[in-house]
Amino acid sequence: MKMKKKIINFPLGKNKIKAVIFDVDGVLIDVSGSYRISIKKTAEFFLGKILDMDDVEAVKNRGINDDCDAAELLIQEGGGSFRKKVIIKKFQEFYLGRQFDGFVRTEKCLMKEATLKKLKKYKLGIVTGRPKLDANFGLKRFKIYDYFKTIIVKEDVAEGKPNPLGLLKAIKKLDVKNDEVLYVGDNLADLRAADGAGVNFVGVVGNAINKAKAKDLLKSEGCEIILNNVNDILKVV
C-alpha cells in the first residue's frame, strides 16, 4: 500500500494539538504474551505444527491490524483452509479463556496513570481494533478507562485499520479538527490510518520484539517521531 502523502509531523513545541488518540495493543497495553501468542497458538492448532514468533511478527509487519486476520493468513499460507468464524472462536479461547483466564491475564499496562493525569488538558480518545469486550476488560482492569472521552472499537466501524474510519469517527465525537489531532500507534496499520485521516502521528515501539525493525518500518512510510516508551508522549505534546 502506497502512502497518499507524507505523514504530518508537527514541530515539537509548536503544535496546536487539542486531542490525543491512542491505539491500545502495544501502546497502552503490553500484548506480547497475549494477542501475539494467541495468533501463534491459533495458527498452530489448525496447521498441526509449531511456528516461530518471527512468523507472527512478519505477518503483523505487513500492516495487518486485526489479529484474527493475522492468524487466518498464517493458516492459509501454511496450507490450511478453515472458516473465519471457527478461527475467531479458537483465537478467543486462547486469548480470553473461559472466564478471562486465558493469555489475557499476561497483559501489563504500559501507560502510567500519572501520564494520563498530565494529559488532562487534551481531549483523550482511543481507536482500537479490539472487540468491545476485550477493550473494556483491559482498560477497566488497569483503571484507565475513565480517562478517555471516546473509545472506538472493532464493532464501531465497517472496516478496521488501516482504513481511517475509526479515527474519523473519533475526531467527530471529540469535536476537533483533523489537524488538531495526534494519533499514537505502534504499527503500519496505525500510521496508514493516520495518513488517511489527515492527522498527526507518533509511533511507539517499546513493546516490539525487534525495536530497530519496528522503527525502520515506520520510518519507511514517513514517520519521523518515534518513542521507545508511550509515557514519553509528554515530551511531544
With respect to CATH, is domain 19-30+107-236 assigned 3.90.1150.10? Answer: no
Q: Is the pLDDT of residue 185 over 70?
A: yes
Please state, rounded to an integer, the average pLDDT across all residues of the chain. 92
Q: pLDDT of 38-53, one tens digit each?
A: 999 999 999 999 999 9
**DSSP helix/strand/coil, 184:** strand
Q: Tell me the whole-structure pTM to 2 decimals.
A: 0.89
133-183 pLDDT, tens digit per residue, is 999 999 999 999 999 999 999 999 999 999 999 999 999 999 999 999 999
Closest residue by Cα to residue 186 from 167, 172, 206, 169: 206
Give exposure, 181-216, as e/b (b: 16+ Cβ within 10 Å). Answer: bbbbbbbbbbbbbbbbbbbbbbbbbbbbeeeeebbe
pLDDT of 124 above 90: yes
> b/e per residue, 54-75, with b = 16+ CB within 10 A?
ebbbebbbebbbbbbbbbbbbb
Question: Which amino acid belongs to residue 45?
Answer: F
Domain spans in the chain, listed from the N-terminal domain onward: 19-30+107-236, 35-105
> Does residue 203 carry a pLDDT above 60?
yes
